[in-house]
Structure 1
Amino acid sequence: MMKIKMISLALLITFVLMGCGNNKLDLEAVTKIEIYDWENKDLIHTIEDASFIEDLVTKLNKAKGEKISDTADIAMLPYKVHFTNKEDTGLVLGFDQTEDESHFMDYENSIRYIVDITLPNVPLTTISPKSKEEIDEENKKELELEKQHQNDSE
């Protein structure tokens, strides 16, 4: 009976640890990166420098993704980045950058990645994406305003 409990505990810990790793990207064999304007879909820049791609992919694979609340309104970043292996696009992420870091957003899984590298020939923005705490605080304030407005209407 004790062996069954120990095996069950080991399996539970394994599943928990596997679940914790879901905020990681697993990019492999990227040969080209294309950056597009999100709204008008214009190609802004193509990167085919193997050493730069390897550096960026390594940093993204090591980056700890930040889960953004499923109830939060996530603003679309101004660009999208296609990670391509030969002619097959493996992953598309939302993208924005400041002078010293890049922000990648996996909208499908609501996960944001920040790395300390910028992409060349892409215009910089001055506003960094909001953290989960900032988004949660804004949502809390909006709910309070709605409640106050409802109370005033009654």
Structure 2
Amino acid sequence: MKTSPIAILAALLVAAPSLAQDAANGEKEFRKCKACHMIQSPDGTDVVKGGKTGPNLYGIVGRAAGHEEGYKYSDALIKLGETGEIWNAADLEAYITDPNTFVEEKVGDASLKTKMTFKMNRNQADVVAFLAQHSPDAGGEAAAEAPAEAAEAPAE
């Protein structure tokens, strides 16, 4: 049976989000994040030494928003957590692209502002794939949850 070029193209487009994610590149891109964030396992092992301005990102994929023990979250993230938000790959990509817009769209309150002022304008899927590797509750497929639209977001 001969496969049509259209069928091959369609299969590639469906697979594109998972092909576009590169956790090794995400680890390099995470250097931009470590000024404020660390990744430290519960036993105290540093995966990435970093700042403490932001919460520890170990286990972020699969964790409820605004619920890292010992971190004082903004009202925006507390409200986001109250909506039942559980961080998945697609939402993390959208959040790190524009934190305040993400929260506004999810919570419906433009007056709420996050503490995160940094906006990542490229390689978000790679960073999330890297974070998913250090998220035991990610279910192994969290990095592949990102929709094609997120992979096609224009760079700023």
Alignment TM-score, normalising by the size of structure 2: 0.25
Q: Greater helix percent: which structure?
A: 2
Q: Greater strand percent: which structure?
A: 1
- Determine which structure has greater relative contact order: mean sequence separation of CA pairs < 8 Å that are 6+ residues apart, divided by chain length: 2
Whose radius of gyration is greater, 1 or 2? Answer: 1
Alignment TM-score, normalising by the size of structure 1: 0.25
